[in-house]
């Protein structure tokens, strides 16, 4: 079997997306190896999930550093100590400096709880309701210097029902996040997903992937 792809996960909170990634690698034959989980808060529950799975953890409290540049420099050093081919943002609530984003160009993924480019930033579920959206969802994208603006890899779409609240949307979107994030990470680990000058490509076809049926385990179709 080829060597697995080393992945470092950054998070600040609950880490349910981390758990989905851990679960997706549990069969022992995965192309993905989660080398470390790094948090900017020592109380992030995701650290406990990592420890329970035997994954190395590090905490870098951003308050201990003199500004963003110093924090991001220390973060890069910590990440690179694990020699990752891919860095995965899983609810990491820090704005990253351009130097950080450039350093991991083409190997830094994020998941965002909206159908980007709609609803960048925070409170996406409430904003989807207020905008009267009939569809909502989540997006995996490569990270660039534009916040939540990097090229899209895959999205999952859910319908918005008339009785939906921000909480009910969050719950259904989260369930979809747990499906598409491990999928995108696996594509990358298998060498099928790359960020090229033409944009992200899956098996040589330009993304984003669309048409991923909510209740199917099928691989989504890449958009032409
Ligand atoms: C998710 O909603 C993700 O889209 C956003 O941060 C949240 C993290 O949730 N980037 P969790 O900590 O993985 O449960």
Domains identified in the chain and CATH numbers: 5-215 (3.40.50.170)
Query: pLDDT by residue (tens digit) across 142-164?
Result: 999 999 999 999 999 999 999 99
pLDDT in the model for residue 80:
98
Of the pLDDT bands very low, low, confident and very high (cuts 50, 70, 90), residue 28 is confident
What pTM was estimated for this model as a whole?
Answer: 0.93
What's the token pair of residue 56?
């190395």
Average pLDDT, the chain: 92
- Nearest Cα neighbor of 202 from 140, 117, 147 is 140
Give the catalytic positions in this structure: 112
Distance between CA 108 and CA 26 in Å, rounded? 22
Read off the pLDDT of residues 92-141 as tens digits, 9 standing for 90 and up: 999 999 999 999 999 999 999 999 999 999 999 999 999 999 999 999 99
How far is it, in rounded angstroms, from Cα 91 to Cα 33?
19
Does residue 72 have its Cβ closer than 6 Å to ligand 1? no
Annotated binding residue at 214?
no
| Residues 63-94: tens digit of each pLDDT | 999 999 999 999 999 999 999 999 999 999 99
15 carries a ligand binding annotation: yes
H/E run at residue 8: strand 5-11
Respond yes or no on whether the N-terminal peptide bond of residue 172 is cis (omega within 30° of 0). no
- Out of 91, 115, 154, give the residue to mutate to test ligand 1, the one with the largest number of ligand atoms within 8 Å of its CB: 91
Q: What pLDDT score was predicted for residue 207?
A: 83
């Amino acid at each position: 079997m080829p060597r697995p792809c080393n992945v470092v996960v950054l998070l600040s909170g609950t880490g349910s997306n981390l758990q989905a990634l851990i679960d997706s690698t549990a069969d022992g034959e995965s192309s993905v190896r989660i080398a470390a989980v790094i948090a900017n808060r020592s109380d992030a529950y995701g650290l406990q999930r990592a420890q329970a799975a035997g994954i190395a953890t590090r905490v870098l409290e951003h308050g201990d550093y003199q500004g963003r540049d110093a924090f991001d420099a220390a973060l890069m050093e910590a990440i690179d100590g694990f020699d990752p081919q891919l860095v995965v943002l899983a609810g990491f609530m820090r704005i990253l400096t351009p130097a950080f984003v450039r350093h991991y160009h083409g190997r830094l993924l994020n998941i965002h709880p909206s159908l980007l480019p709609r609803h960048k930033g925070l409170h996406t579920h409430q904003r989807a309701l207020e905008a009267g959206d009939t569809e909502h969802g989540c997006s995996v994208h490569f990270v660039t210097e534009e916040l939540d603006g990097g090229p899209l890899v895959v999205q999952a779409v859910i319908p918005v029902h008339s009785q939906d609240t921000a909480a009910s949307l969050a719950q259904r979107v989260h369930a979809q996040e747990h499906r598409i994030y491990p999928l995108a990470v696996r594509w990358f680990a298998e060498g099928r997903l790359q960020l090229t000058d033409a944009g992200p490509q899956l098996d040589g076809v330009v993304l984003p992937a669309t048409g991923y049926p909510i209740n199917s385990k099928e691989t989504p179709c890449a958009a032409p």
